[in-house]
Amino acid sequence: MATLVSQGQIFLSCYALMLVVLGALLFLILYQIVKMLLLLKYRNQESTANIPPGSTGLPFVGETLQFMAAINSHKGFYDFVRIRRLRYGNCFRTNIFGETHVFVSSTESAKAILNNDSGKFTKRYIKSIAELVGHQSLLCASHQHHKLIRGRLSNLFSMTSLSLFIKQFDQLIVDNLSSWEHKATVVVLDEALKITCKAMCKMLMNIESGYKLEILQKEVARVCEALLAFPLRIPGTRFYKGLQARKRIMSIIEEEISDRRRGLGTNQHEDFLGSLLAGDDKACYEAGPNRQKLLDSEIQDNILTMIIAGQDTTASAVTWMVKYLDDNQEVLHTLRDEQLQLARKSPEKTFLTLEDLNDMPYASKVVKESLRMASIVPWFPRLALHDCEIERFKIKKGWNVNIDARAVHLNPTMYNDPKKFNPSRFGDAESRPYSFLAFGMGGRTCLGINMAKAMMLVFLHRLVTTYRWKVIDQDSSIEKWAMFSRLKSGCPVIVKRVVYDDDGY
């Protein structure tokens, strides 16, 4: 009996000792956790001192879900930015796809960032865009790589090339518009997408009909639909479908390059690809083993980029112009008067020329005002290469910094009554530097800026001198998943051919 009692006491003593030890261990663990949390809090306070206000959202996810929700709404993905700018001010930070993004919206910030690509910032798009257009695209290339590619491509956007393109594009417009009067309703966006895609494929690779054009039109649309998708390589997802579409596009471009190389110098087309390959062949001959030529993969990525940029942005801009002009009949009347006067100068002329486009001052203002109002490209992304300071806030190396072009374009200190469509605001006087960002600024200004303007001017001239129109769906909702802001309705119109009399019309 005494032995049992003794054993029980020993057991209780051991149990008590174990509890003491466990308690001590728990205390030490809790102490270390509290200490670590306090240290992290101190470091966080220190590290977040004077950084832009904002929210990092949920752990790991950030505010990605809110961003994706905006993309999948008819308000458009810019609504995500608009809400946070109203909440936090003109400079704020957020977290998307696991990365910190800072948005700035002053002309001073735009100048500081866009003028310093080579030193403090480089271009940086979200992963889905880079994967779909290609990492060797002008949109995504590093500074040195960008200089090489831009240098090789820039000669192909000469005034001589532009003059030839204007004639080709004008012919496409005339042919397309001739069918409009036979349709009960014309959806402007659909027609503009078809015209611009055909124009870009003709200019770039001399593809103007047949199965290749049909495939390119369909697959480019799928790539564009996936540009803002969550980058999941899972069959059935929007992003995966976009990647598969890219592969099919790359296959067609690769086939074109192969065909050209086999026939180089014997049956070369007068197009972008032919000129590029001929230039690379000359570079091979002149520069030997140290030549600066483009790889086939670089050519492929940039042809796809130019098709998307030339088609989607231009078609979106044209659609907004048609809507703005329908909403502002006085502007339309002034524009039509200018274009009719131009047409009367050379009634025998078949197609427009570069000189004609340079003689369209009011139309040029209409184009510029439409681009300001619509802000087709709402922001321009950059990556901070070093710690720096923007708008008195600290920006850390590796953060994404986005210039909010739409906020700049709608800033009442830059533009009087900014939500009013008023082309005459762009008078002879120069606007404030970095207040118009439709084509970017600095060393990465849109390479095809003159071509894009030419396409819009040609379209405007032919439309206003051929038809009157009425928009039959006034809904201004934005198309879901659109990288470039465009109307959900596509801007359906009823058209009626303009009848001219001795006074003009």
Residues within the annotated binding site? 446
- What number of helices (H) and strands (E) belong to the chain? 18, 10
Asked whether 461 and 352 are in contact (CB, 8 A), the reply is yes
Look up residue 497 and give its two tokens.
């051919």
Please state the three-class secondary structure of 307-321 as a single string.
Answer: HHHHHHHHHHHHHHH
Asked whether 283 and 291 are in contact (CB, 8 A), the reply is yes
* Side chain identity at residue 224, one-letter code: C
CA angle 379, 385, 389 (to 5 degrees): 75
Look up residue 407 and give its two tokens.
């906020």
Tell me the binding residues for heme: 446
φ/ψ of residue 191, rounded to 5:
-65, -40
**In Å, how far are 50, 119, 254 from 267, measured between CA atoms?**
63, 44, 18
Task: Dump the DSSP string for 181-193.
Answer: GGSS-EEHHHHHH
Which residues share a beta bridge with 93?
54, 102
CA proximity to 382, closest of 452, 306, 440: 440
Dihedral sign for Cα 309, 310, 316, 320, please: positive
Task: Dump the DSSP string for 248-298.
Answer: HHHHHHHHHHHHHHHTTTTS--SSHHHHHHHHHHHHHHHHGGG-----HHH
Asked whether 52 and 102 are in contact (CB, 8 A), the reply is yes
Asked whether 453 and 364 are in contact (CB, 8 A), the reply is yes
